[in-house]
Structure 1
């Protein structure tokens, strides 16, 4: 995005975890340097590194998590500082979907228990075939065809699970009061809509959950909700362990209300329960998923640093204004009255005309981007930034 005759802007990128090469290659040009020892980077890429105890330099403008969850990032603190936090929704969706469908089928056929039992026959020699034939009846399962799958959360992962389960001849019921327009377009019309989550609980043989952990969703699987469900229901949790009240889950399994609990989040309590299939957090653990997440995270940081555009931020509204090479002013500020008016007045003080602009808010904060029509003298920029920064409620200002 360098303009002729201008000093080249060089951005520093730091990684806190191993990032796939395809992601790092996004920064393989003269405008970027990847320096993991830098104490003052412009952008940070990470996966699971815990940033809560990390001191963040004031130069950091953006953080991108190569994955969906951001529990390892102090998002609220960074929002107050005007640091954009990106994630990569959908980049690992296919990997999770495949594992969900795999475990639905495998748990229904008692595959995991059967394999473990078969391995225990080691050293039985020629008796093994007879023992297998005699013992296989204890692992008789059921087919998923014609059974009803409930999908809670119809985002990138949930929609894929729902559509592909239909292709496996399952009936599918979905619940998501916040479904996006894009997801609705991609969701099969044959997915039944549950008007309430209780309706889904009461009618499904299998329930898979794909929602974030919030105060409202924490412990959503509990004694009260288990009582609504069909006896022997299989519950799959590839979202967050805390969505399930583990004490109540143990009781529901013991009583037979829950037939199987498949979870990607094992712990000491989980491993003590019977009829649990504990998976070592493999939901997104594929080469393809890691590459997709790395590439998406890197591209989002690069676009933000070079154009100010925001896509897939968890703490600021998405704002995308086509970049045509004009000087662009970007301002993070409190979402309070007359902010845009004060910002444009600051531009007027320098006789600058507005070519295009966009303002979007999310909660207590907002983001304004303004393209300037005039040719801007480099000497004007420091004064302009200082002028806008002095407006009460402004958090950060950049001129690109």
Structure 2
């Protein structure tokens, strides 16, 4: 019986996929897997039996990846499951950045109880004039599932779209409109575009990419949208740009204290993936990922271990997480040969400092000899 612990509320649409060999709940000891959304695991005690953590969402900043890797715990996320939800909110942000809708609504509220409200609205609405987005240039930094969806939608809205991503995947490239222009550098985005939207992950290279130096390269009156990660933006530099009139509007889904209630800044309470459809999609994907790993050893959409997705062909499957160092496969083969165990299939892939090997056999195998090998982190035999 596999034990799955829930650290957040997970959509029943996903949980219903657990059947038979699973015990699922919030109160659980020695769990085999964890399903999580926003709860932090940085101080969470990772028990020796824990094999996998699935994050029902894209970002994994709430999970201690290095510690999980050291202990052989596979961490999954659900890329693309919330892409449409975030795309729709980004499009909303584009309109809010131009048309002063929020400011206009707040002003109308101030007229409550005034019998001349209709006349005052007609007289005062000119203060909320804003440009249309059709024909304007939009720069998309980061062309994953969300960035590509935003770029394609903006093309359909009549915008001229520039995309930048030095690590774009083949699938993303295939899914992107041919009308999206390839920006070879971020500087092209900064200097050319009227609107800039961020969809990059938070890394050493991307943290603080919207800063004073890059803002200086931008057009006067640029509008910036951040629905990716709060730390992609240097908030103080953005606020200064807003105060100086360099930035016409900053729209973000991240309510950091320094930007709340500032003129020409609209802060949305992290609603990007807050739709029932998105929550269902993320739950389904997370459950399928963790089930596939526990039941067959396959790894798909892991952020800390390589992808291996092989159909089962034998009675037993040996799953080995180990350091990415020379001679490991030879050691595995020698160990099995000494026990007169035949290898029917072997697959090995590496990711950074760690590697993952699946060995298939029809012979009974124990794990003690594998555990005794140096640089082996975790071993399972699935029958």
State the TM-score bracket (shorter-chain normalisation). over 0.9
Partner in structure 2 of residue 388 of structure 1: 370
More divergent stretch after superposition (104-113 vs 357-366): 104-113
Q: 1:78 aligns with which of 68, 78, 93?
A: 68
Partner in structure 2 of residue 124 of structure 1: 114
Partner in structure 2 of residue 202 of structure 1: 191
Q: What is the rounded CA distance, in whole Å, between the counterparts of 1:138 and 1:35 in structure 2?
A: 54
Q: What is the rounded CA distance, in whole Å, between the counterparts of 1:84 and 1:214 in structure 2?
A: 20
Partner in structure 2 of residue 7 of structure 1: none
3-state SS of 1:150 partner: strand
Partner in structure 2 of residue 163 of structure 1: 152
Q: 2:94 aligns with which of 98, 104, 109?
A: 104
Partner in structure 2 of residue 271 of structure 1: 260
Does the CA contact (< 8 Å) of 2:87 and 2:150 recur in 1? yes
Structure 1 residues 1-400: aligned runs within 5 Å: 10-27=1-18, 29-125=19-115, 127-372=116-361, 374=362, 376-377=363-364, 381=365, 384-400=366-382
Structure 1 length normalisation: TM-score? 0.94
- Note the C-alpha offset of 1:20: 0.5
Q: Which runs of 5+ in 2 are unaligned?
A: none
Q: What is the rounded CA distance, in whole Å, between the counterparts of 2:83 and 2:70 in structure 1?
A: 30
Q: 1:235-261: CA deviations, max 9, x gaps? A: 000111111111111110111111000
Q: What is the rounded CA distance, in whole Å, between the counterparts of 1:254 and 1:36 in structure 2?
A: 47
- Note the C-alpha offset of 1:159: 0.3
Runs of 4+ in 1 over 6 A off after TM superposition: none
3-state SS of 2:360 partner: strand
Does the CA contact (< 8 Å) of 2:314 and 2:344 recur in 1? no
3-state SS of 1:228 partner: coil
Structure 2 length normalisation: TM-score? 0.98
3-state SS of 1:354 partner: coil
Q: What is the rounded CA distance, in whole Å, between the counterparts of 1:315 and 1:147 in structure 2?
A: 39
Q: What is the rounded CA distance, in whole Å, between the counterparts of 1:30 and 1:134 in structure 2?
A: 67
Q: Name the Cα RMSD after superposition.
A: 1.0
Q: Which runs of 5+ in 1 are unaligned?
A: 1-9
- Note the C-alpha offset of 1:325: 4.7
State how many pairs are aligned: 382
